[in-house]
């Protein structure tokens, strides 16, 4: 996959030309950064016949389009590269404010992932079975 950031500096035509050149040079997919509109994504789709990646990073150059909107103009992949970090850090900041103000986090329990949910998500039981099948530490007395 080849990334081009030229759209932000030199415009859409330069990005289309760059994407074509990258495909000609052997790129199997293109990551066109800083596309601003769905029409620009559609123009990129018309310009090259390889998979295309859309970057939906908040506070970037692109509007925050939906998966369906991007699919409808021919995008094949969509990433949200830092969205979960931003959400997590926002929640962390609010929890720290709560801790500073109240001295506890009891009011945040409903926002937390319960231990049982985490264990189910990571299939902890299966991992524990696998792990103990390899080594089970015992203290000899």
Which are the contacts of 31, defined by CB distance < 8 A and separation ≥ 6? 1, 2, 3, 4, 52, 53, 55
pLDDT at 138 over 90: no
> Tell me: the pLDDT tens digits for 15-74?
999 999 999 999 999 999 999 999 999 999 999 999 999 999 998 888 899 999 999 999
Tokens 């759209």 -> residue: 7
pLDDT of residue 101: 97
pLDDT category of residue 141 using cuts at 50, 70 and 90: confident
Backbone angles phi, psi at 36, to 5 degrees: -95, -30
Rounded average pLDDT over 85-112: 96
**Domains, the chain, ordered by start:** 2-79 (3.40.50), 83-134 (no CATH)
Work out the average pLDDT over 7-16. 97
Does residue 53 sit in helix, strand or coil? strand
How far does the chain reach from its first CA to its final CA, in angstroms? 58
Report whether pLDDT(11) > 80: yes
Q: Tell me, what's the pLDDT at 3?
A: 98
């Amino acid at each position: 996959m080849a990334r081009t950031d030229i759209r932000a500096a030199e415009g859409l035509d330069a990005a289309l030309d760059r994407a074509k050149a990258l495909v000609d040079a052997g790129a199997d997919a293109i990551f066109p950064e800083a596309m601003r509109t769905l029409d620009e994504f559609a123009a990129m789709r018309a310009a090259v016949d390889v998979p295309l990646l859309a970057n939906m990073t908040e506070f970037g150059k692109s509007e925050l389009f939906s998966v369906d909107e991007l699919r409808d103009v021919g995008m094949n992949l969509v990433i949200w590269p830092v969205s979960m970090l931003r959400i997590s850090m926002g929640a962390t900041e609010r929890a720290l404010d709560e801790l500073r103000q109240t001295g506890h986090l009891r009011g945040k329990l409903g926002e937390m992932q319960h231990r049982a949910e985490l264990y189910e998500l990571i299939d902890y039981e299966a991992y524990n079975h696998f792990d103990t099948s390899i080594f089970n530490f015992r203290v000899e007395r």
